[in-house]
Amino acid sequence: MFRTNTCGELRLGDAGRTVTLAGWVQRVRKMGGMTFLDLRDRYGITQIVFESSDNEALNEAANHLGREYVVQVSGTVAERTSKNPHLPTGDIEIIARELRVLNPSEVPPFTIEDESDGGDDLRMRYRYLDLRRTPVRRNLELRHRMTMEVRRYLDSKGFLEIETPMLVGSTPEGARDFVVPSRMNPGQFYALPQSPQTLKQLLMVSGMDRYFQIVKCFRDEDLRADRQPEFTQIDCEMSFVEQNDIIELFEGMAKHLFKTIRGIELTEPFLRMSWADAMKYYGSDKPDLRFGMKFVELMDVLKGYGFGVFDNAEYIGGIVAKGAAHYTRKQLDELTEYVKRPQIGAKGLVYARVGEDGTVKSSVDKFYTQEVLRAMADKMGAEAGDLILIISGDDTMRARKQLCELRLEMGRRLGLRDKDKFACLWVVDFPMFEWSDEEQRLMAMHHPFTHPKDEDIPMLDTDPAAVRADAYDMVINGVEVGGGSIRIHNAELQAKMFEILGFTPEKAQEQFGFLMNAFKYGAPPHGGLAYGLDRWVSLFAGLDSIRDCIAFPKNNSGRDVMLDAPAPLDQKQLDELNLAVELPEA
């Protein structure tokens, strides 16, 4: 066989054994009459020693090895004279007796080490080499362990793992689909699923009761650090449940993952916060609660004193950065420029410092007396040494989002967004609809199959924009790691939903008739949730991007630079698919 042991398992207790290892050459070092080779595989690194006095030809062969050569080495395990406390195998070394080159290697385009000299583009082009690096490999090992624990947990709760199709019908409502032309059905197209949503609902109609799937999903949308065109969901659905049943079960899963993967035991129930409160106090439906700086509205305190920016504002709100009154004018100017960036869009920033004597010094002192400024500080709970930061605007929602960005930036600057600290909560009671300026109509905030809260159903006829949904998101450290809802299981209510969304009865029947028809045959009350596996793994690994926990990710332009995809089709393939390509003029 190629090996008796891996490069990560031998210890001092194995001293004296004759072993065979196989792996990649990490580095070769020549010291006097000896050659040292670090041999690496997925499991670790073991030092190999070639002694020239023992076998000069063997030592000479070792000297000709290059980085990333694939070799097989046989020898005897011995205790190291100079031990390496940073390696699990650091107490031993192998005194080589045989060396066999299994495959030579060209010099790799970047160093295969924890801290590589390769940039992102280069490492993505040679991703198969990047995956040899320990940090990247560990991310994939973490992903494997998490999927195993997910399956173990859901199996213990009676869930069945059921696969659903990858080729489905297109549903224009929502994000853009990736479409696949059908050769056997000219002029017709499949879509790659954005989610198995309707299929898992049909599984509930068919009596499967509890379903899950670790499933690939696809969305043709602009990319960010937490998005890829293809991503993996832990997709789940349950019958005969209410919102609280689902929240409790999947909060249990989250606690199980924290305990088994990170060794963190969470005993307290996760906080639940309404969407309205999340927006009011944090300007986001995924607030980061690792730190405070809760918004305080100041219209009643600061309006009417001749400062036009505030007097004409629809919203005035502020945060308190505890102990940050030492911020210099330069630092405050940097913050002002930060919130004025186009992607944030604030017009400016007002600040105030609370001195050790309790006086408040503000950037708009000439408009306000000390009494007014002190009342502002008292309302905000600001104390000596604190820094107050205020943003205003003529659109409440937009101003809150700007204040949210400021809050997150201050949390980062003050070191409050510790990746080893976790704050978990459920955001509940989302609006059922949101207005689309582009479409000039109401759109489903989640999807058109979400059930409205029972007490709000009468408002579907009178004030649909005020209707709340039986929807919920789990948020950890400001990241939405999953979300779901109770689903509509009544054909009449589903038809009403499509009507509000602007579907004609014919259009609704054409796109979703299969689901509405299924509801006529005894659909149970049901609901579900989908966790983003990529986001969970990146959260536990302390990564800034989900790309680093995916084996073969796309870049920020949606390209696979290793496979050079997407790419044009040749004319023969286009002809078989009855397709013609017309590119816009440059």
The answer on 545 and 444 residing in a single domain is yes
The answer on 147 and 267 residing in a single domain is yes
Res. 174: pLDDT tops 70: no
The answer on 450 and 339 residing in a single domain is no
Amino acid (one-letter) located at 540: F
Q: What's the mean per-residue pLDDT of the chain?
A: 94
Distance CA 469, CA 18 (A): 66
Res. 527: pLDDT tops 70: yes
**Residue with token string 């089709």:** 569
Res. 242: pLDDT tops 70: yes
Q: Is 25 helix (H, G, I), strand (E, B) or coil?
A: strand
Distance CA 24, CA 102 (A): 10
Q: Which of 103, 122, 156 is the last residue of a domain?
A: 103
The answer on 429 and 390 residing in a single domain is no
pLDDT band per the 50, 70, 90 thresholds, residue 173: low
Higher model confidence: residue 585 or residue 399?
A: 399
List, for residues 278-315, the tens digit of each pLDDT value.
999 999 999 999 999 999 999 999 999 999 999 999 99
Q: Is the residue at 149 inside a domain?
A: yes
pLDDT band per the 50, 70, 90 thresholds, residue 225: low
List, for residues 394-439, the tens digit of each pLDDT value.
999 999 999 999 999 999 999 999 999 999 999 999 999 998 888 7
Q: What pLDDT, on the 0 to 100 scale, is given for residue 93?
A: 97
Which CATH number does the domain housing residue 457 bear?
3.30.930.10
Total count of domains within the chain? 3
Sign of CA dihedral 40, 41, 44, 50: negative
Locate 494 and state its tokens.
Answer: 């589903």
The answer on 210 and 143 residing in a single domain is yes
> Is residue 449 within 8 Å of residue 494, measured between CB atoms?
yes
Going by the DSSP 8-state scheme, the letter that residue 204 receives in this structure is H
Q: Which domain holds residue 332?
A: 291-413
pLDDT band per the 50, 70, 90 thresholds, residue 118: confident
